Amino acid sequence: MINYFSKSEYSLVNSNLSVELMQNVVKYFYREVVIFQHHIDDNRSFKMFTSQLCVIGLCRQVEICRVLGISKSSMIRNVKKLKKNGPSAFYQIPKRTGRGGTVITEEVQKKAEEFLLHGWTQQMVAEKLDINVSTLAKAIQQGRIYAHPKASRKPKNGRGSREISTNLIGNANYIGKHTRKIFI
């Protein structure tokens, strides 16, 4: 929490509401009655209660921002959070939004390399190790898993990989669903 008070201070928010800091405890007064208090370092209670003051109509957002030195965008965000999820939203541990845990562990890496060495496709290895095919492909592409050059990729439409045959004059024919000639 921003320490917007000096050692001991009393601030008037409006004609009915005031805030006081004494011995690291912030107290909120409605006229002369204490309606809430929290430790100065308790940001969650601070955000929850200042938002609640605005929502129930004891003061306006601009008054809280002016007296306590909160940015307008923070106040708007806190009021929105309170209206949408209630007071408990300020006390919940936020969900992790970053990257997930490591999928390609040392054990998974060794098994994947062994399976790939024995000619398994990426699809088969991924299913066997219960990992996403794209995760396996990315690890191979980044060099975290060594894929034997002869190990084939995921078969397209389950028909197997395409074979390349070359003739003496340098033409390569792709033999698959559609036959194309490519001049090298």
Q: Which residues contact 37 (CB under 8 A, 6 or more apart)?
A: 25, 26, 27, 28
98: pLDDT strictly greater than 80: no
**Chain CA centroid to CA 52, Å:** 27
127-165: b (≥16 Cβ within 10 Å) or e: eebebebeebbebbeeeebebeeebbeeeeeeeeeeeee
* pLDDT tens digits for range 136-148: 999 998 888 988 7
C-alpha angle 74-79-85 in degrees, rounded to nearest 5: 120
Q: Which residues contact 14 (CB under 8 A, 6 or more apart)?
A: 59, 60, 63
Return mean pLDDT, the chain.
80
Q: What is the pLDDT of residue 161?
A: 43
* pLDDT tens digits for range 106-126: 999 999 999 999 889 999 999
